[in-house]
Amino acid sequence: MDSRNAVLLVSGILVTVFAVVTWAWGSSRGGSLLDGWARSQGLQILSQEKCWFFKGPFFWTSSKGQRIYRVTVRDGEGRTRSGYVRCGGYWLGMLSDHVDVRWDS
């Protein structure tokens, strides 16, 4: 293997590792933002599902860097609600602490 091919191989490996680490961090960060939002609102998350394609009311207004979850929660009085929660900012993605929610009607 000549030095040019070795550089290409190492570069490819580094890019792949970076992509996997970034994806894993984004997923973990999204879950942390969701948990923190629920706690701050006095809600218990009963179920959560990551939205990969269909993003409910956030379909046209979200960037690739944001995470969307379909959630069902219970409040302190025992009432349950369902809706969509968007974590992260439009431009900064998971670097932002921003969280939006749209409840089902």
Tens digits of residue pLDDT in 13-55: 999 999 999 888 878 899 999 999 999 999 999 999 999 999 9
Q: Domain range holding 89?
A: 3-103
Report the mean per-residue pLDDT for the chain: 94
Give me the pLDDT at residue 27, please: 82
Strand order across the 99-103 sheet = 44-50, 67-74, 80-87, 99-103
Report pTM. Answer: 0.85
Give me the pLDDT at residue 1, please: 73
User: In the chain, what is the greatest distance between 2 CA atoms, to the nearest angstrom?
Assistant: 68
Say whether pLDDT at 61 is over 80. Answer: yes
Give me the pLDDT at residue 11, please: 93
Q: What domain count does the chain have?
A: 1
